[in-house]
Amino acid sequence: MSFDFEKQSHRRLNPLTGDWVLVSPGRTKRPWKGQTEPPSPENVPAYDPQCHMCPGNTRASGEHNPPYARTFVFENDYAALRLAGQPHEQNLSGLLVASAERGICRVVCFSPRHDLTLAKMSVAELRAVVDVWIEQYRSLGSDPTINSVLIFENRGAMMGASNPHPHGQIWANTTVPNEPAKEQTSLLAYQRRHGSCLLCEYWKIEKKQSQRLVCENEEFAAFVPFWAVWPFETIVISKRHFGSVDEFSDSERDTLADILRRLTSGYDKLFETFFPYSMGFHQRPTDGQPHLEWHFHAHFYPPLLRSAAVRKFMVGYELLASPQRDITPEDAAARLREVDAKS
């Protein structure tokens, strides 16, 4: 008898990180008595005089935002990383190991409109955001102290974004952080072993099987990865092999804008809410090396499980042993495909 992935618990390997996820289908049928989250606030105004990102307003630092018309980038007033400071290395018996870390943190306002989201913006407006991301990756990456540029967005109060104004962040620093570093090791090992790219080969399989595909256009595809941890986690990959946003063609700038808009509006339709998520781009470090092993992609990690009010928690077994999911990635992809078809 063939193995039924929809019925029997099993674990799946994430070849990008080497981590395993436990898949336990059917577990969402259990009665829910845990926490529910209040729905996100409706009727957000187009301009909020209290918002530190709206055009013309004053920020906590005392600086004034210009009356910007499209996008606006500023240095984070509460930056987690700064360029100034002394170098320092500590290693006590290989046990108390630390080093000074330098970097730059910026905020990117996607629109002057306080009430918009990526899903509600037009492809042309989103293209302007893509252009800013590319400019920022180039300019930050050209600084010799900056070797990694992480572009990301936390959306929704559930993900810790206290301000609904559409915005993302860029943290650029000297060392490559944990997640992209793990992926880089795997991508490089795969390339050395097989002489090809892990994600190019993986995309061939996803395309053929098509059961985890959510949507695609000429140059990008979005799907629930085989090893997804979060219920409706997705990965967006470029169909062409290249390492970073600064290698985008003119058309890829538009098609990335298109697939991001499609995916985020599908998420909103799934539970008829402003779907919260953390999303970000994984790409080539800016250390001056060619890094041909890197294949540009984006990850979306949304916390919602069954409705706008019920989220997934990473607790218990997940904190102490391994992540676990209840609905299969194939099932999650089918539901996302259904809402995508309605758009």
What value, to the nearest 5°, has the Cα angle with vertex 169 and ends 241 and 313? 90
Contact positions with Zn ion (CB under 5 A) in 97-116:
114
* Residue from 51, 146, 228, 332 binding Zn ion (CB under 5 A): 51
Choices 6-14, 26-34, 262-270, 282-290 (CB under 5 A): range interacting with Zn ion: 282-290
Look at the chain and count its residues. 343
Task: Supply the minimum distance, in Å, between the C-beta of residue 133 and Zn ion.
Answer: 16
Out of 79, 159, 197, 292, name the contact with Zn ion by CB under 5 A. 197
Catalytic positions: 167
Q: Segment near Zn ion (CB under 5 A), from 44-52, 67-75, 253-261, 264-272?
A: 44-52
Q: How far is the CB of 58 from Zn ion (least distance, A)?
A: 12
> How many CB atoms sit inside 10 A of residue 26's CB?
13
- Of 295, 311, 325, 337, which lies in the binding site for Zn ion, with binding defined by CB under 5 A? 295
Residue 251: count other Cβ atoms within 10 Å of its Cβ.
11
Applying CB under 5 A, which part among 130-138, 199-207, 283-291, 333-341 lies near Zn ion?
A: 199-207
- The runs of H, that is alpha helices, within the chain are 123-141, 178-194, 198-209, 250-270, 317-320, 329-341
The Cα 155–Cα 278 span in angstroms is 6
Q: How far is CA 17 from the centre of its chain?
A: 15
Beta-carbon contacts of residue 165 (< 8 Å; ≥ 6 apart): 48, 51, 53, 54, 109, 114
CB-nearer residue toward Zn ion: 16 or 134:
16
User: Smallest gap, in angstroms, from Cβ of residue 241 to Zn ion?
Assistant: 3
Shortest CB 243 distance to Zn ion, Å: 9
Instruction: Provide the minimum distance between the beta carbon of 9 and Zn ion in the complex, in angstroms, as a whole number.
Output: 26
What CA–CA distance (Å, rounded) separates 322 from 319? 7
For Zn ion, which is the closer residue by CB, 138 or 240? 240
The Cα 116–Cα 125 span in angstroms is 11
Q: Could you say which residues in the range 60-99 bind Zn ion, by CB under 5 A?
A: none
Q: Interface with Zn ion includes 199 (CB under 5 A)?
A: yes
Count of beta carbons in the 10 Å neighbourhood of residue 122: 11
Q: How far apart are CA 260 and CA 200, in angstroms?
A: 20
Site for Zn ion in 155-194 (CB under 5 A): 165, 183
21, 53, 132, 256: which one binds Zn ion (CB under 5 A): 53
Site residues for Zn ion per CB under 5 A: 48, 51, 53-54, 114, 165, 183, 197, 199-200, 241, 282, 295
